[in-house]
Chain A
């Protein structure tokens, strides 16, 4: 009798063990993104695989903590973030639990979040301070202060107030984390997170230090975090001349006619697909956690995504007076208005102008080195995606100007607030201005740049005397008459 009971108990224990095992394996091996059928929703909220993956014991990739932690950080560290993530210029839509650019995916047993393309390539524009912001997909994230956001996430993740209990106290009654995830919370998830966060913070620390000028709103240093995150270079040993690289987010519409052109500000790559995969690394994917299918959906969409038309009145007579001046002075390098339809007019379109010729700020160029290119060729190894198109250049590339009205401020480092300012000689361009406000200046073509603060948002004061921020160079058109300059600006509204 006792023997039988023991046998039964033993069997029950074994069965339970097996079931728990299966449960753990299924939970840990599930890799399921939240999916969106409409492509615009996919672009805004879909996962490109930038959430941490690999295994729960040694997660790889990703820059953000798990969903339940991520959504709790603003209230845990509310002193650092009074208005939630929108403080950093994130765009939130009604009825969404995450801002645009943040995706959700179940991986390694957790509901994880990651960044996607939209975080840096979606912005807003308004006609007046009173009008509602219009969200434009594919335009530079003119409001986003990515650096401040990353620093907040790192700091708050390491804050003593972030504990498992603090998270559990903030979970909703319904629709909270799975039982498995709750179990992980009880068994050291937060401690593990702090270790991963410390590691990431230490790696990118020197590029984020106060000795390096801040990126500010609408800009990112593409390659310095990359040097440490992908290759574990000790950034404290990278010379200052290579450690400053903040530059504007580009627009990502109308990619098809760009294939084969020198992409990135310094023209270091001529493959759209490879450039996309490289940008995805910046969002937190790794060659093994990237979601190629989901990324391909975005790629196919931006391939033909049309640049948004200028929505305000255009003085057609003035514009058509500007057209021939533009043809004469600008078209050879920047193509003309027909580029939106794929017409590449101009021999130097998409080519690199040497730094000596163009004369713009050299820091972004010098942040990309031959040694770095050499290391990039080992990325996405043993796959059809392995990087092979990167090249060190010695200048900046001529980019086509489709949808240029939404791409202010101008020059690669965003050092000139409006198109009209760009047509002034460097010494007459604004020496300091504000970035991040989305109200449009229809006269000068660009965003309003003399407002320091509005709607609770504090904008970035951009000082052109700071290293990497110079507004020199690109003096084309600066000697024209005021009328001709106005005509060119008007013509550019039709791009």
Chain B
């Protein structure tokens, strides 16, 4: 062979090696780690969000150490309620899988697992499936976007910080420097491009505006001036809620669709959804459908018992008050349980209901046309909000669909007497008022402000029980602890 020929061969081999390495580090999907228990699967498993909206693990790990000023308090991701427990590497609600390199995505548990502490110095108790009142899902994204917008989001800074944690191979260092860091930056900046963010009410801890996510982020529709912010819902007894419909506005009665739609809203990629749908009906224990496993776990999840002391005598006295004032709507077997209570009757904030339109439902139903997981059951409802059963109600604080009332005691006050400014996210429990401590130096320092005058935050309506006597209220609240 000629000299040129040899050079060509060497070049081709070299390029081949480089592209093979590139392929392996950018696209190869490694076997997804399987979790033995369904609870761990719910807390840590992938729901397919790493590919398009994930962040390479090493970048994710060091960002809070480079940009602590974009987090509310010292504490890394834990400062926005994203905490790891029992020695698990990843915090609850964040998944880590290898797509070329290890990448971090979010899953259902991010918004649906609560922490509770009895005193400020206790270790938190963790309740999977409960409304994640302490988590700032929007703050998490905003942190990543703020970091990406900072000129220090550079290969030098990030690789220097990574080098304090792990020794990356030279090819990996080059890949991070020239591909992964710039790509991640670009992707995060794009996440921050949403024009609606600044014009809408901030989510704060424990809330999300899924309606806007669907309309503006997924469907890329034009901003329509609405706000659909609402509490993350507790996910127990889901089996029993089919008739009434899922989501606060009951806009879908198919749990399977709601689980899948939630994954899409969290950022699951289309490719991943296709694969997970194929797996749905296969019973391959080595690679089951992740979403089906989540759904089945939630189907059987029961609400946790109140972990503190209950005055049994007082509670017994409250049972009658409950039966007379609350049961007709809130008891699973009651007459009105599965019918929506008209908004005109409850009088709670309309914004969430009004943010979802007929055309939104149609567009979302058409979103996955051509895929096996296509949606068909989304609808527009106009009467009123879902009436959740009150099982585990102690853990659903703050109350009402928009979480505008901090405690049960406040909810039993006429709207004019309810707090107009309080702080969400502090996880120390207020056993006297039943809810989380929502004011005071620690709640203010660690939580986010909810101002009821902001669009979607209204704390009016649901005046049931507000005219009871003080003793009746005390008894009713004690009884509700037993639910």
Q: Would you call A366 an interface residue if the criterion is a C-beta within 8 Å of the partner chain's C-beta atoms? A: yes
**Nearest-neighbor residue (CB-CB) of B83 within chain A:** A374
Binds B, one of A13-21, A174-182, A382-390: A382-390
Q: When A366-B121, A374-B84, A388-B88 are in contact, do A382 and B74 touch as well, CB less than 8 Å?
A: no
Q: When A232-B65, A388-B89 are in contact, do A381 and B165 touch as well, CB less than 8 Å?
A: yes
Residues of B within 8 A of A54 (CB): 163-164
Q: Would you call A109 an interface residue if the criterion is a C-beta within 8 Å of the partner chain's C-beta atoms? A: no
B69 touches A378 (CB 8 A): no
Q: In residues 227-273 of chain A, which contact B (Cβ within 8 Å)?
A: 227, 231-235, 237-239
B164 touches A355 (CB 8 A): no
Residues of A within 8 A of B84 (CB): 373-374, 377
Per-position 1/0 for B35-75, Cβ under 8 A of A: 00000000000000000000000000100111011000111
Closest Cβ of chain A to B90, distance in Å, is 8
Q: Would you call B78 an interface residue if the criterion is a C-beta within 8 Å of the partner chain's C-beta atoms? A: yes
B68 touches A287 (CB 8 A): no
A377 touches B87 (CB 8 A): yes
Residues of A within 8 A of B91 (CB): 374
CA of A383 to CA of B165, assembled, Å: 10
Q: When A237-B74, A381-B61 are in contact, do A365 and B164 touch as well, CB less than 8 Å?
A: no
B76 touches A390 (CB 8 A): no
Residues of B within 8 A of A386 (CB): 89
Per-position 1/0 for B120-152, Cβ under 8 A of A: 011110000000000000000000000000000
Q: When A231-B64, A231-B65, A234-B68 are in contact, do A390 and B166 touch as well, CB less than 8 Å?
A: no
Q: Would you call B190 an interface residue if the criterion is a C-beta within 8 Å of the partner chain's C-beta atoms? A: no
CA of A215 to CA of B59, assembled, Å: 36
Closest Cβ of chain B to A490, distance in Å, is 37
B160 touches A58 (CB 8 A): yes
Q: Would you call B79 an interface residue if the criterion is a C-beta within 8 Å of the partner chain's C-beta atoms? A: yes
Q: Would you call A286 an interface residue if the criterion is a C-beta within 8 Å of the partner chain's C-beta atoms? A: yes
Q: Would you call B483 an interface residue if the criterion is a C-beta within 8 Å of the partner chain's C-beta atoms? A: no
Per-position 1/0 for A368-408, Cβ under 8 A of B: 01111111011001110011111111100000000000000
- Tell me which of B68, B77, B124, B166 contacts A288 (CB under 8 A): B166
CA of A390 to CA of B86, assembled, Å: 8
B residues near A, CB below 8 A? Answer: 61, 64-66, 68-69, 73-79, 83-89, 91, 119, 121-124, 160, 163-167, 445
Q: Would you call A60 an interface residue if the criterion is a C-beta within 8 Å of the partner chain's C-beta atoms? A: yes
Q: Would you call A61 an interface residue if the criterion is a C-beta within 8 Å of the partner chain's C-beta atoms? A: yes
A370 touches B163 (CB 8 A): no
Q: Would you call A362 an interface residue if the criterion is a C-beta within 8 Å of the partner chain's C-beta atoms? A: yes
Q: A235-B74, A377-B89 are in contact. List 13 more A-B contacts (CB 8 A).
A: A232-B68, A233-B75, A238-B74, A286-B164, A288-B164, A288-B166, A371-B78, A374-B76, A374-B78, A378-B89, A378-B165, A381-B166, A386-B89
Residues of B within 8 A of A394 (CB): 119, 121-123
Interface centre among A374, A386, A388, A391 (most CB of B within 10 A): A374
A393 touches B89 (CB 8 A): no
B75 touches A371 (CB 8 A): yes
A288 touches B78 (CB 8 A): no
Residues of B within 8 A of A232 (CB): 64-66, 68
B123 touches A393 (CB 8 A): yes
Interface centre among A61, A235, A377, A387 (most CB of B within 10 A): A377
B87 touches A387 (CB 8 A): yes
**Nearest-neighbor residue (CB-CB) of A288 within chain B:** B167
**Nearest-neighbor residue (CB-CB) of A233 within chain B:** B74
A378 touches B61 (CB 8 A): yes
The secondary-structure label for the interface of chain B is: loop
| Interface Cβ pair total, 8 Å cutoff | 101
- Tell me which of A239, A362, A370, A381 contacts B89 (CB under 8 A): A381
CA of A372 to CA of B76, assembled, Å: 9
Size of A's binding interface in residues, CB under 8 A: 42
CA of A378 to CA of B165, assembled, Å: 9
CA of A381 to CA of B61, assembled, Å: 9
22 pairs, CB–CB < 8 Å, chain A vs chain B: A54-B163, A54-B164, A60-B163, A231-B64, A235-B74, A239-B445, A287-B164, A288-B166, A366-B121, A369-B75, A370-B78, A370-B83, A373-B84, A374-B75, A375-B76, A377-B87, A377-B89, A381-B89, A388-B88, A391-B123, A392-B123, A393-B123
Residues of A within 8 A of B121 (CB): 355, 362, 365-366, 394
Q: When A371-B79, A378-B89 are in contact, do A237 and B73 touch as well, CB less than 8 Å?
A: yes
Residues of B within 8 A of A60 (CB): 160, 163-164
B65 touches A382 (CB 8 A): no
Residues of A within 8 A of B164 (CB): 54, 60-61, 286-288
Residues of B within 8 A of A355 (CB): 121
Closest Cβ of chain B to A65, distance in Å, is 19
**Nearest-neighbor residue (CB-CB) of A365 within chain B:** B121
**Nearest-neighbor residue (CB-CB) of B167 within chain A:** A288
**Nearest-neighbor residue (CB-CB) of B159 within chain A:** A58
Residues of B within 8 A of A366 (CB): 121
Closest Cβ of chain A to B59, distance in Å, is 13
Closest Cβ of chain B to A217, distance in Å, is 28
- Tell me which of B119, B160, B166 contacts A287 (CB under 8 A): B166
B123 touches A231 (CB 8 A): no
CA of A479 to CA of B89, assembled, Å: 47
CA of A122 to CA of B156, assembled, Å: 40
**Nearest-neighbor residue (CB-CB) of B66 within chain A:** A232
CA of A55 to CA of B160, assembled, Å: 10
B165 touches A287 (CB 8 A): yes
Closest Cβ of chain B to A59, distance in Å, is 10
CA of A386 to CA of B87, assembled, Å: 9
CA of A365 to CA of B64, assembled, Å: 25
Residues of A within 8 A of B69 (CB): 234
Residues of B within 8 A of A55 (CB): 163
Q: In residues 27-73 of chain A, which contact B (Cβ within 8 Å)?
A: 54-55, 58, 60-61
Residues of B within 8 A of A235 (CB): 74
**Nearest-neighbor residue (CB-CB) of A375 within chain B:** B76
Closest Cβ of chain A to B173, distance in Å, is 12
**Nearest-neighbor residue (CB-CB) of A287 within chain B:** B165
**Nearest-neighbor residue (CB-CB) of A387 within chain B:** B87
Residues of B within 8 A of A392 (CB): 122-124
**Nearest-neighbor residue (CB-CB) of A235 within chain B:** B74
Q: When A233-B74, A392-B123 are in contact, do A371 and B167 touch as well, CB less than 8 Å?
A: no
CA of A235 to CA of B79, assembled, Å: 14
A371 touches B166 (CB 8 A): no
Closest Cβ of chain A to B143, distance in Å, is 14
CA of A40 to CA of B163, assembled, Å: 33
B83 touches A371 (CB 8 A): yes
B78 touches A375 (CB 8 A): yes
Residues of A within 8 A of B87 (CB): 377, 387-391
Residues of A within 8 A of B78 (CB): 370-372, 374-375
CA of A227 to CA of B78, assembled, Å: 13
- Tell me which of B68, B83, B86 contacts A233 (CB under 8 A): B68
B75 touches A375 (CB 8 A): yes
Q: In residues 350-367 of chain A, which contact B (Cβ within 8 Å)?
A: 355, 362, 365-366
